[in-house]
Structure 1
Amino acid sequence: MKIVEIREQTIPISSSIRNAYIDFSKMTLSLVAVITDVMRDGKPVVGYGFNSNGRYGQGKLMRERFIPRVLEAEPDSLIDESGNNLDPHKIWAAMFTNEKPGGHGERSVAIGTIDMAVWDAVAKIEGKPLFQLLADRYGNGTPDREVFVYAAGGYYYPGQDFSKLKDEMRTYIDRGYTVVKKKIGGGSLDEDLRRIDAVLSVLQDGQKLAVDANGRFDLDTAIQYAKALSQYDLFWYEEAGDPLDFELQATLRNYYDKPMATGENLFSMQDARNLIRYGGMRADRDYLQFDCALSYGLVEYLRTLDMLHQHGWSRSRCIPHGGHQMSLNIAAGLGLGGNESYPDLFQPFGGFPDGVKVHNGHVTLPDLPGIGFEGKSDLYVHMQALSS
């Protein structure tokens, strides 16, 4: 049993949208196929992965460092103790060979993308959905296939007005979402408050709005927004300041007593631990958005979950960024609080397998092997083209 080839393709996911910090006019991602010599139904088992939006494709790093290390490793050194499957932890260690600690920027995305494909292959070799494999190995054996999801949107784009913003949010509500998210910080505070009012005007009882500043604010601006946002019953106030400015986040809690969220731009267990130690996050109300696809993959995410447990945090406070099926499987298998969703953006990489609908803010994961990419036809056509 061995990995015979790892392929990467850099794909554009460009869009005219922008948040408070970046636009997506030249955004790319890496699509990866891990091809094994294990045969199922007369075909080799192939695991697939891709990185989340907001960080560019990392093909050069993969091709120069991480893919060669896996392929050059002794195949038996990458097999689990049973001898019947690949070991994601050993493969991760092979990728990280000769890497210094610290500096968790772009390489964490490269490793995390390959790691996703490895887990997809491992679950397929075992003949299980990834959520069931995770529940068996790291949970109580019983996954919760109903996962909370919220609709991320409300970006800034040319020609957008309040009417178009409200129409966008109505489409999410009509599709079964109960929580929607919009961007703030891309204009003035007054403009953002009017945009919030516009969205709230289309929400009904039991439906909520989250807002996301994408790390745009300095402390004074973050506080100014906090005071203004306190008049609303928001689902959360997300990533007010720079993701590594833990003092800003800790100070902000003194001005905003409602839920806050951050963590999507922290790419290691160590950075996540620093947020918990020094960022003033409150385990009874705040949310953590660490995204395995950007932060060294599920192997590292498991370390992060262990760290959170040691600090008294429930897994249910984790709602990952990214809107991909990998985190959906982790949420179902390991008991996270839910997952982000992009109903209309970054397609075909966002969304759910064909036929999966949102009902009362939740989706039910189908019984598909691995991560379930084969059940999403518009995405699988790209994956199949890469591996064929």
Structure 2
Amino acid sequence: MKIQKIQAYAVSIPLETTYWVSNEIIDRCSQIIVQVLTDEGVTGVATLHGRSMPTVLQVVEQLSGYLAGMDALAHEAIWAKVFGLTTISPDAARASGAPSYLGADKRPALLAAMAGIDIALWDIKGKAVSLPVWRLLGGDRTSIRAYVTGGYYQVDRDLFDIGPEMAGYVSQGFNGVKMKVGGLSLPADVARVKAVRDAVGPSTMLMVDANCAYTLEQAIEAIRAFEPYDVYWFEEPLHWYDSVRAMGKLAQYTHVALASGESEQHSWACRDLIDLGAIRYMEFDATRSGGVTEWLRVAAYAQLHGVSMATHHDPHIHGHLAAAVPNGACVEVFLDEKRDPLWKMLFRERAQLRDGQLHLSDLPGFGFDIDWDVVKRFHI
């Protein structure tokens, strides 16, 4: 089965309101869809984060010709060929017919494009043998615990009136919720955390996500202030430039589990985060960089070091992966349709959320089907 063509589409929907986290404004919901077409008529599909969309689409277009004719089941060879473009010399690129414009400034887009292609190849594998990916990977779990992310800062809402939102998720059967911190003064954020804890009760797992908001000293002060509210994990607390070694130091000051990894681009960085950062939850995102092949490497290393995999975004893909590995802990989901309209709109078929669990089907591949009318409507 040979790769015939690779194509990508960008979808973006303006949100009804503007959300923000500690270092970013969110006013659109966007995703990239990647298709890998084969000469035997089997098509693999993937979804990616909607970052750097024009550049990612351009890279996918270039990789289509570069990978055409390769065995669609040879995911390791394809992964290595694409990743090799991050270090190839211009002379070697010319000799091999590789895309010549891919330099360091395009590296994140290249790794994102590679993630989409790799995910689509695993979708092809499942479809080729009529197995869901969770089964293809050797798993036997058909469901996995889901937690809901909400509690964003929101421009048209009282920043302290988030208890009812989070309690609403619990009333739908979810025993874990995650909220944003780091975007206000520490006393203000403590008041928000207290409001959520009071609303969801003592038995609900409450995670806080700082989106890289703090220095080490600020993070120590913050987690000590949050600890009285029984925080389950503290996610991405530290500024991007010192998020590994400083994480290990932070762990010495708190009993709260640390979670990180969604911003990492490859397994080498995840290795260092596990070895030096003392995290207990690894959140490497297969739909942002590296794909399934790299996610599995990260998961295997994490297992050897007693670290659990807690996935980030795209549960219709990550659910298969987390359910298949022994250290798969949970998947992240978004129930607020105003914040994530694509979860409801983009798919004709996908994994289902019930009773606080993500339930996977027996459909081959990743088991989701895109509503192409929605793609046509919101395609950019």
Q: Name the TM tier (shorter chain).
A: 0.7 to 0.9
Contact 1:78 1:87 in 2 (8 A): yes
Q: Distance in 1 between matches of 2:52 and 2:203?
A: 36
**Counterpart of 1:364?**
359
Aligned amino acid, residue 357 of structure 1:
L
Q: CA deviation at 1:196?
A: 1.0
Contact 1:143 1:334 in 2 (8 A): no
**Counterpart of 1:12?**
12
Matched, 1:125 2:159: no
Q: Distance in 2 between matches of 1:203 and 1:37?
A: 52
SS of aligned partner of 1:180 = strand
SS of aligned partner of 1:202 = helix
Aligned amino acid, residue 321 of structure 1:
H
Unaligned runs of 5+ in 1: 39-43, 80-85, 136-141
Q: Distance in 2 between matches of 1:125 and 1:244?
A: 43
Change (3 A) 1:175 1:264: same
> How many pairs align?
352
**Counterpart of 2:321?**
330
Q: CA deviation at 1:382?
A: 4.3
**Counterpart of 2:95?**
none
Unaligned runs of 5+ in 2: 89-102
**Counterpart of 1:139?**
none
1:226 equivalent among 219, 223, 226? 223
1:35 equivalent among 34, 37, 58? 37
Matched, 1:272 2:270: yes
SS of aligned partner of 1:250 = helix
Q: Distance in 2 between matches of 1:298 and 1:241?
A: 27
**Counterpart of 1:82?**
none
Of 197-206 and 120-129, the range deviating more from structure 2: 197-206
**Which TM-score applies when normalising by structure 1?**
0.83
Contact 2:6 2:61 in 1 (8 A): no
Matched, 1:320 2:314: no
Change (3 A) 1:93 1:219: same
Aligned amino acid, residue 133 of structure 1:
L
**Counterpart of 1:307?**
301
Q: Distance in 1 between matches of 2:158 and 2:273?
A: 36
Change (3 A) 1:169 1:26: closer
Q: Distance in 1 between matches of 2:343 and 2:119?
A: 14
More strand by share: 2
**Counterpart of 2:92?**
none
**Counterpart of 2:94?**
none
Q: Distance in 2 between matches of 1:124 and 1:172?
A: 34
Contact 1:162 1:198 in 2 (8 A): no
Q: What's the C-alpha RMSD, in Å, of the aligned pairs?
A: 2.6
What is the percent sequence identity of the aligned residues? Answer: 27
**Counterpart of 2:255?**
257
1:341 equivalent among 324, 333, 342? 333
SS of aligned partner of 1:370 = coil
Contact 2:351 2:367 in 1 (8 A): no
Q: CA deviation at 1:372?
A: 1.3
Aligned amino acid, residue 22 of structure 1:
E
Aligned amino acid, residue 85 of structure 2:
N
Q: CA deviation at 1:241?
A: 0.7
Change (3 A) 1:179 1:121: same
SS of aligned partner of 2:26 = coil
Contact 1:13 1:29 in 2 (8 A): no
1:95 equivalent among 66, 72, 82? 82
Q: CA deviation at 1:258?
A: 1.4
**Which TM-score applies when normalising by structure 2?**
0.84
String of CA shifts for 1:220-239, please: whole Å, max 9, x gaps: 21111021012121111111
**Counterpart of 1:213?**
210
Q: CA deviation at 1:27?
A: 6.0
Q: Distance in 1 between matches of 2:351 and 2:46?
A: 21
Contact 1:13 1:26 in 2 (8 A): yes
Q: Distance in 1 between matches of 2:27 and 2:2?
A: 39
